[in-house]
Amino acid sequence: MSHHQRPLSPYMLGQAYRFQLTSVMSFLHRISGIFLSIGALGLAWWLMAVAQGGDAYATVAECLASPLGMIALAGLSLSLVYHLLNGIRHLLWDAGHGMEIPEVYRSGYVVAALTVVLTAVIWFFAMRGGA
């Protein structure tokens, strides 16, 4: 039966189904959510280290300041801002606002632009404070 050859979401994206702003942003919401869930475990680890102090805190601080740590922080901050803004977009939909297709695209572009701007602003202040 050809039944088994049907393209399934999300693997159909980009193959049987054209990429759209809406589907890509929906997918990114999940990806960023997964990434943030892992990052939340890092937050618990950081809090425990702050509570313990001494070597435990020094180890965490060293990890965060390493190139890999900085890449993780950059990814997490971008994910957090995106998930927050797109989450607000979802909450507005839940309240019944902006559900017409042109509005959905407009809010999508607003979220994408604000994500880049806000993340840049956060890193500007973080670098200024840390320098």
Partner 1 sequence: MSTQRVGKAEGPVEFRTPLKRARGLGSAKSGTGHFWWQRVTAVALVPLVAWFIGTMVSLVGADLATVQAAIARPWNAIVFALFVVALFWHAKLGMQVVIEDYVHTRWLEITLQLVVIFLCAFAALASLYAIARIALLA
Q: Which residues bind partner 1 (CB under 8 A)?
A: 10, 30, 33-34, 36-37, 40-41, 43-44, 47-48, 50-51, 53, 57, 77, 80-81, 84, 87-88, 90-91, 94, 122, 125-127, 129-131
Residue number, 67 or 129, with CB nearest to partner 1 = 129
Bridge partner residues of 12 (DSSP) = none
Q: Smallest distance from the beta carbon of 71 to partner 1, in angstroms?
A: 16
Bridge partner residues of 17 (DSSP) = 13
Residue number, 33 or 102, with CB nearest to partner 1 = 33
Residue number, 18 or 128, with CB nearest to partner 1 = 128
Q: Smallest distance from the beta carbon of 2 to partner 1, in angstroms?
A: 20
- Is 45 exposed, middle or buried, given 0-12, 13-18 or 19+ CB atoms closer than 10 A? middle
Q: Smallest distance from the beta carbon of 74 to partner 1, in angstroms?
A: 13
- Is 101 exposed, middle or buried, given 0-12, 13-18 or 19+ CB atoms closer than 10 A? exposed
Q: Smallest distance from the beta carbon of 33 to partner 1, in angstroms?
A: 5
**How far lies 16's CA from each of 4, 30, 33, 40, in Å?**
15, 21, 26, 35
